[in-house]
Amino acid sequence: MDWERERRTGVPEAVLCASKSGTQIQAILIAAASAGRRLLFTRLEPAAVEALAPECRALLDYDPISRTAWCGGPPPAGTVRDGVGIVAAGTSDLPVASEAARTLEFLGFSAPVIADVGVAGLWRLMRRLEEIRGFRVVIAVAGMEGALFSVLAGLVDAPVIAVPASVGYGVSAGGTAALHSALASCAPGLLTVNIDNGFGAAAAAVKMMGKIKD
């Protein structure tokens, strides 16, 4: 692992498990635990957790919805900050929204998730608007056509980070339609990360919060 990364970039390295073998994941986990270091794992499928040796599994705090895990325990008590909020268009977007929330939790931020506020029923978003306007950084998660991104960015003065979700079928299968909606938004200042990249959105929010003094 690249233990110098946090000092240089403000965000520690995490382990993207999707294309790693069980043997590789286990070796990384043991190395981190031996070094007494905290480490985040993303895209860790339940089956991959099951395949770990029991003593390795016991080292992990695992959440199956977000498919994230960490070793080394929670952030030190008394250091957790707020200021970041997560907005999700629908129930299907919760795995991606949870990846962002869990990453933020690991990195010392408590971030509420406001779900089911997609624009097909605009009144639902409007009811939660004051709460959303209270955040300093907003992470928005939406699949299908991703219209939520533009609507939201036109309603708040905080920076909005769009996370397109691979939710949908036909032309929205894979998340490209939502990604292009974020990039082509008519609302100035909308920012984007890769499809399904809840981790990256959280890392960007942490970098922003690192420049904001409470």
Contacting a second copy within 78-107 (CB under 8 A): 89-92
139 part of the interface to a second copy, by CB under 8 A: no
d(CA 42, CA 29): 13
Beta bridge partners of 69: 41, 62
Q: Which is nearer to a second copy, 10 or 75 (CB)?
A: 10
Q: What are the structure tokens assigned to 91, written together?
A: 């129930």
Residue 33 engages a second copy in binding (rule: CB under 8 A): no
By the rule CB under 8 A, 194 interacts with a second copy:
yes
Q: Is 195 in the site for a second copy (CB under 8 A)?
A: yes
User: If binding is defined by CB under 8 A, does position 8 make contact with a second copy?
Assistant: yes
Q: Which is nearer to a second copy, 58 or 169 (CB)?
A: 169
| Least distance to a second copy, CB of residue 57, Å | 20
Question: Considering beta carbons, is residue 58 or 117 the nearer one to a second copy?
Answer: 117
- Shortest separation between residue 93's beta carbon and a second copy, angstroms: 9
One-character DSSP codes across the chain: --TTHHHHHSS---EE-TTS-HHHHHHHHHHHHHTT--EEEES--HHHHHTS-HHHHTT-EEETTTTEEEES-SPPTT--B--EEEEESSGGGHHHHHHHHHHHHHTTB---EE----GGGHHHHHHTHHHHHT-SEEEEEE-TT-HHHHHHHTT-SS-EEEEE----SGGGGGGHHHHHHHHT-SSTT-EE--TT-HHHHHHHHHHHHHT---
Of the pair 71, 137, the CB lying nearest a second copy is at: 137
190: contact with a second copy by CB under 8 A: yes
The residue range among 29-37, 47-55, 72-80, 115-123 that interacts with a second copy, by the rule CB under 8 A, is: 115-123
With contacts defined by CB under 8 A, how many residues of the chain interact with a second copy? 90
| Residues in 164-183 that interact with a second copy by CB under 8 A | 164, 166-183
Q: Binding of a second copy at residue 73 (CB under 8 A)?
A: no
CB of 78 to a second copy, least distance (A): 23
